Every structure is written in C-alpha cells, then in structure tokens.
A and B are shown apart, each in its own frame.
Chain A
C-alpha cells in the first residue's frame, strides 16, 4: 500500500537552530510531493510543492525541500528556525497510479521552537 513516513513525531529546537524533517514515501512511480503546515488553531497551508524539474524546491518563510528520487525522500529544511515556526508539519504525496489527485499524508511532525 502507498504510504508516507515522517521520521520524527516531535522536535524541539531553540531559535536560530537548523531544522531538517524527514519524509519517505513508498511508491515507485511518478509522484507530486508536498509539505503542509498547520499553525495552532489554523487550517492546513501549503509550504512548498514539487511537481517536476529542479529537485530542490523553495517555499514560503525560508523553507526548502529536496526530492531524492533514489531514496524516495522529500526532506524539509530551514537553516534558522523562529519561534513563529512552532506548528505541525505534514508531508504528503500524490501518487499517479491511475488518475486523480488523492493526497496521502504522513502522521505529522510537531515542532516546538523555544525562544
């Protein structure tokens, strides 16, 4: 079955620390890849997306992610986190296995950034 694994369920960082959140998916075909963020009390928002082309994609608020096809990975990075980055982060995949755009989400990583 197609699935998405996020390696860290909870991450605690101090401001200015670097962030890397792992994401791996299980599907051998073409995929679209996403990172969504859910700030406390808010709806899911798109951080960044990969459809094709340059495997290093940049998103909003200084986030970036790298698609490594051989590793089925799409890790999220930020060089220096801020307190306002405290949120839950979800990796998601659309596997093109017959059509349509069903998102498959990982379980999420809850990030807490301390001042």
Chain B
C-alpha cells in the first residue's frame, strides 16, 4: 500500500520563475492538503483540495495555486517565485470526513529559490 508520494524531491529555481510540485495521495484517500515548512518552523497550511476543488485556504498569496485531478492526485503551483518561498513543501492526504481524520504526509519537496 503506497503512502503519500511527492515529486520532485529537490528543486532549484530562480527568482521570478514558476514551479509545479506534484503529490499522489495514500491509496483510498480523497483529500489532499499542502503545507509549507520554512527552516526552523512548523508546517503552515497552504490549502486543501477535495473533489477537485479548493475548499479551504491558509494565509498565502494568490501566487500559490493548486489543482486536484480525478484520481485525487494534486499539484501545487507557485508563480513569480521569491527568495522567501524557499522551503520544504509537504503534501498530506486524508479522508474527507469532518471529524476524526488523520493526515498522512509525504517526504516533501525541498524548493530552493536563488
């Protein structure tokens, strides 16, 4: 049973560029959430996708956008990259239940903006 998989594992981009990160959820899960973990901090919620729609969003600018596909996999897109976007980006999958749900995390994508 595959867990949450993310690609790529590492990425180096230049300021102003655009990046796409990918996530495949754990088998049986239908909800994907994205988190940003800056160095020395805890993960910060970016947004969550369910039924191919963004249903909750954290305090991140519109440069951060996403998508969920019919097979529940998801992409995170970041436009006009800033140095401050350098972080570990984590994908978590879960079931859509309102309560008593547990999130499973992938290994993350380490994004470095230079």
Which residues of A does B touch, CB under 8 Å?
A: 4, 6, 32, 34, 36, 42-46, 49, 51-52, 90, 92, 94, 96, 99-108
Contacts and interface: CB of A to CB of B under 8 A. Distances in A.
A74 to B, nearest CB: 14
For chain B, the bracket of interface size reads 20 to 34
Given A90-B42, A103-B43, A46 B102 contact: yes
A105 B105 contact: no
A39 B36 CA distance: 18
B78 interface: no
Contact of B45 (A52, A90, A103, A106): A103
B74 interface: no
Contacts of B98: 96, 99-101
B108 A105 contact: no
Given A44-B43, A106-B42, A107-B40, 16 more contacts: A43-B3, A43-B4, A45-B105, A46-B104, A51-B99, A52-B100, A96-B99, A102-B56, A103-B33, A103-B35, A103-B43, A103-B45, A103-B92, A105-B42, A107-B42, A108-B41
Contacts of A102: 33, 45, 48, 56, 58
A105 B56 contact: no
B107 interface: yes
Given A42-B107, A44-B90, A100 B41 contact: no
A107 B99 contact: no
Interface in B59-112: 90, 92, 94, 97-108
Could you say which of B35, B44, B98, B103 has the most chain A C-beta atoms within 10 Å of its C-beta? Answer: B103
B104 to A, nearest CB: 8
A49 B107 CA distance: 20
A79 B58 CA distance: 37
